[in-house]
Amino acid sequence: MRIATWNVNSVRARAERIGAWLERSDADVLAIQELKCKDAQMPVAIFEERGYEVAYHGLNQWNGVAIASRVGLADVQLGFENVPGFGDDDAVEARAINADCGGVRVHSLYVPNGRELDHPHYDYKLRWLSALRDDVTAQLAGDPKAKLVLCGDFNVAPHDEDVWDMEAFAGCTHVSQPERDAFQALLDAGLTDVARPFTPGPGVYTYWDYQKLRFPKKEGMRIDFQLASAALAEAATGAFIDREERKGKGASDHAPVVVDYAL
């Protein structure tokens, strides 16, 4: 089974590219982040015309997550246990969706950015990751042999080699120790970063800012991951980051992360 994750940075703006990518990538499941649309605006046809079922969760022009699958899509759930909200009304945002895809529990996650170290969004990010860890811990405690994978934009660069220049990130989010500790807590809960052994760094990134010619300068970040449970991680046979999809007109600022599992 080939599972991919991709922050598309607007599913409507990228619809044609997503369809073309699905055709050439041979992905069985695609976890999508940053839809930037309401449910009623979701371009469902680009998936269904290619044989994919799609489940999605979008509330407004921000955030939004989806899962497209051609190997089955069942028991769709939005969010996760005790997912925190943000803002004066503590609203739960459209940042998490999960479903059973051919016997694998696939989560599509768009972790909060954090914005700045002293911003309320940073505390929200840490609380969100903590609740996610608790949910994963409970899932695996209930079924240690469960095949599940957390796919998405984690907005954390867990190692120094995951950014192009640590000095440029001094005092910034994404590389702070509390964020890295929160990411490590997911691994400690029983998950494995399955793509990294097949795509070792340094200099291997999944995101390049649109500004300051970051992509041609190779100044990126590794913040998109697939974190798999032990039962699924042992089935991983290969992985790649489709850097080519970051090129050309109308590209997302993220590249797809693709992992093959022998199931």
DSSP-based three-state secondary structure for 145: coil
Contact in structure between 13 and 252 (CB atoms under 8 Å): no
Does 7 belong to an annotated binding site? Answer: yes
Contact in structure between 221 and 178 (CB atoms under 8 Å): no
Contact in structure between 158 and 169 (CB atoms under 8 Å): no
Contact in structure between 153 and 107 (CB atoms under 8 Å): no
Other C-beta atoms lying within 10 Å of the C-beta of residue 248: 8
Does 254 belong to an annotated binding site? Answer: yes
Other C-beta atoms lying within 10 Å of the C-beta of residue 217: 10
Cite the active site residues.
110, 153, 254
Query: By CB neighbour count within 10 A (0-12 exposed, 13-18 middle, 19+ buried), where does 152 fall?
Result: buried
Contact in structure between 3 and 263 (CB atoms under 8 Å): no
Does 155 belong to an annotated binding site? Answer: yes
How far apart are alpha carbons 225 and 192 in whole angstroms?
10
The alpha carbon dihedral of 231, 189, 54, 16 has a sign of negative
| Structure token pair of residue 143 | 């079924």
Does 34 belong to an annotated binding site? Answer: yes
Binding-site residue numbers are 7, 34, 153, 155, 253-254
Q: Which residues are annotated as a binding site for Mg(2+)?
A: 7, 34, 153, 155, 253-254
